[in-house]
Amino acid sequence: MRHLAVFALPLILFAAPASAQTPDAAPVVAAERAFAADGRLLGIGGSFNKWSTPDAIVIGGGTAGRVSDAYPPGAPRPADEPLLEWWPNFAGIARSGDMGFTTGGVALNGQRTGHYFTIWQRQPDGSWKWVYDGGSGASAADVPGPDTEPVILPPGPELLEVAYADGSTNPRPRSERAMNEVREQEALLAAAAASDQKAAHLALLADNGRLYVAPRPPAIGREAFAEALSGWPSTFRFGPTDGGGASRYGDLVWTYGPAAWARDGQPRTGHYVRLWQRQEGGWKIVLAQLIPAPPPAPAPPPPPAGG
Give 277-290 as a DSSP string. EEETTEEEEEEEEE
Select from 124, 127, 108, 102 the least CA-distant residue to 51. Answer: 127
Average pLDDT taken over every residue of the chain: 89
Whether the pLDDT of residue 9 is over 60: the answer is: no
The domains of the chain are located at 26-152, 174-292
Q: What is the pLDDT of residue 264?
A: 87
190 neighbors 262 (Cβ within 8 angstroms): no
Question: Which tens digits make up the pLDDT trace of 123-145?
Answer: 999 999 999 999 999 999 999 99
Question: Which tens digits make up the pLDDT trace of 252-294?
Answer: 999 999 999 999 889 999 999 999 999 998 999 999 999 999 9
Instruction: Give me the architecture of the 26-152 domain, per CATH.
Output: Roll (3.10)
β partners of residue 191: none
% of the chain exceeding 90 in pLDDT? 80
Intra-chain end-to-end CA distance of the chain, in Å: 69
The whole-model pTM stands at 0.88
β partners of residue 120: 100, 130
Question: Which tens digits make up the pLDDT trace of 196-231?
Answer: 999 999 999 999 999 999 999 999 999 999 999 999
Q: Distance between CA 286 and CA 277 in Å, rounded?
A: 6
Q: Distance between CA 148 and CA 189 in Å, rounded?
A: 35
Q: What is the pLDDT of residue 38?
A: 97
Question: Which tens digits make up the pLDDT trace of 97-114?
Answer: 999 999 999 999 999 999
Q: Distance between CA 128 and CA 118 in Å, rounded?
A: 12
Q: Distance between CA 262 and CA 270 in Å, rounded?
A: 11
Q: What is the pLDDT of residue 22?
A: 76
45 neighbors 131 (Cβ within 8 angstroms): no
Question: Which tens digits make up the pLDDT trace of 71-87?
Answer: 999 899 999 999 999 99
pLDDT band at 160 (very low <50, low <70, confident <90, very high): confident
Higher pLDDT residue, 37 or 307? Answer: 37
**Fold (CATH) for 174-292:** Nuclear Transport Factor 2; Chain: A, (3.10.450)
CA 219-198-268 angle, 5° bins: 90
Element (H, E) at 15: strand 12-17
% of the chain exceeding 70 in pLDDT? 86
Q: What is the pLDDT of residue 49?
A: 97
Q: What is the pLDDT of residue 5?
A: 34
Q: What is the pLDDT of residue 265?
A: 87
Whether the pLDDT of residue 15 is over 50: the answer is: no
Domains 26-152 and 174-292 in one fold: yes
Mean of the pLDDT values across residues 53-82?
A: 93
Q: What is the pLDDT of residue 4?
A: 34
The count of other CB atoms within 10 Å of the CB of residue 111 is 11
pLDDT band at 63 (very low <50, low <70, confident <90, very high): very high
Q: Distance between CA 106 and CA 88 in Å, rounded?
A: 9
Quick one: CA dihedral 41, 46, 50, 56, positive or negative?
positive
